[in-house]
Amino acid sequence: MRSWPDDLLESLREILWCQWAALGAFLSVDPARGSVVDPEALVVATCAFGRSDARLFDEAMDWISLNHGVLKPWRLKRISRTFGTDVQRTLGAVLEYISDYIGENLFQGVRDEAGDSLESGRSEPGEALFLSENIRDYEKKRSADPVFESWSLLRGTPRMRGHSGAPDLDNPANLMLRLRHYYGTATRADVMTYLLTAGSGSSNSIASKLKYNQKGVYDALEEMYRSGAVNKYGGVKSANYWVNPDEAARTFGLKGTLPAFCVWPDIYYAYFLVISDFSAHRDEYDDDFLSAERMRDLTLEVVPLLRNAYEALAQLTVPDVKRQVGNEHKNNLIQYLKKVIGELREVTCS
């Protein structure tokens, strides 16, 4: 029988599939168009949720092997830290395999940090990478890939077919990558993406949404302000920055409606918290009282992440833990999470 985490995970995977299709992965789904794809957040989320979908996992690896140059290593580190040791080691294994596969020393800093995290964590040796598989499959029938095995993850040889393409920069969902192509790998590209799609903000608020260092964002904003690309009002510590979207769209050759901005690192992390908590505490979720306690605490943690991640989500009614009792904590949070994922699928994949 399917559980509510299974339903959430299936909806998340639909978003992952259409976002990867937008980036150019070889997947038979319509690509995302309505919201900006965050490539680093997508890579980390695939390491978190792709363990239940071997096809998606390997198509993502194939894409990274061909398009790794568009990824920002330090953002991979910053985002993956939030998800913890298990996701970091999966990311480390993926990046090491790809480095060996193409014969280049890629993302060494990301892999080093993931390795340090693995050493300090409590990962079980020889854990099956894909949740549908079992360690016995490898003990009795299969030979595990040596790279993944070195990261305490057991799987067969990844299926790298070389069918991935480059991102379509005319797709609105790839605005962040289009501006990285325009500006290079500097902070300005992602900051401008935010200003075009999410509106105005301070250097601190923009850095928080983009998962950047605040000083780097401030320096980029001031540089663009001095060049006339960005407007601002207010003092040094309270300055608010914005752009004229019509003028900026003409500068970058953008046509049509701009995509929505979603804080995908926070969105994916919120769902990861809930789904991984269920997986780690299944016995407690079988008890009405204990599951209510866990869901109450999760509500306090995940609702702020989601409310602030996309404008439309701020309009949804949220569970009120002060007025809820018993199973209301569980039932209301599940319904809220389903409404949120419905909004995100609508803006992303339709």
Phi, psi of 240 (to 5 degrees): -115, 135
What confidence category does residue 120 fall into, taking pLDDT thresholds of 50, 70 and 90? low
And the tokens for 281?
A: 């505490």
Question: Between the CA of residue 186 and those of 111, 168, 180, what are the distances in Å?
Answer: 22, 20, 8
pLDDT at 158: 95
Please give the sequence-ordered ranges of beta strands (E in DSSP) within the chain, or none if there are none. Answer: 127-128, 153-154, 231-233, 240-242
pLDDT at 176: 97
Tens digits of residue pLDDT in 305-344: 999 999 999 999 999 999 999 999 999 999 999 999 999 9
pLDDT above 70: residue 46: yes
Tens digits of residue pLDDT in 128-175: 999 888 777 776 667 899 999 999 999 999 999 999 999 999 999 999
Q: Which amino acid, residue 28?
A: S
For the entire predicted model, the pTM comes to 0.95
DSSP H or E stretch at residue 40: helix 39-49
Relative to beta strand 127-128, strand 231-233 is unpaired
Do residues 349 and 32 touch, judged by C-beta distance below 8 A? yes
Instruction: Tell me the sheet residues that pair with 242.
Output: 231
Do residues 268 and 305 touch, judged by C-beta distance below 8 A? no
And the tokens for 308?
A: 């602030």
And the tokens for 338?
A: 């389903």
pLDDT at 135: 78
CATH class of 174-251: mainly alpha
pLDDT at 121: 53
Q: Which of 144, 141, 175 is nearest to 39 (CA)?
A: 175
Q: Which of 55, 50, 43, 69 is nearest to 166 (CA)?
A: 69
Alpha-carbon distance of 46 to 49, in angstroms, equals: 5
Tens digits of residue pLDDT in 2-36: 789 999 999 999 999 999 999 999 999 999 999 99
Residue reference for tokens 């996701």? 87
Phi, psi of 164 (to 5 degrees): -70, 150
Phi, psi of 232 (to 5 degrees): -155, 160
Tens digits of residue pLDDT in 196-233: 999 999 999 999 999 999 999 999 999 999 999 999 99
Domain boundaries, the chain: 4-27+36-154, 174-251, 281-349
* Long-range contact set of residues 114-122: C-beta below 8 Å, sequence gap at least 24: 114/80, 114/88, 114/89, 115/89, 117/84, 117/85, 117/88, 117/89, 118/85, 118/88, 118/89, 118/92, 118/151, 118/152, 120/85, 121/84, 121/85, 121/86, 121/89, 122/85
**Category of 228 on φ-ψ map: left (φ > 0), alpha (ψ -120 to 50) or beta:** left
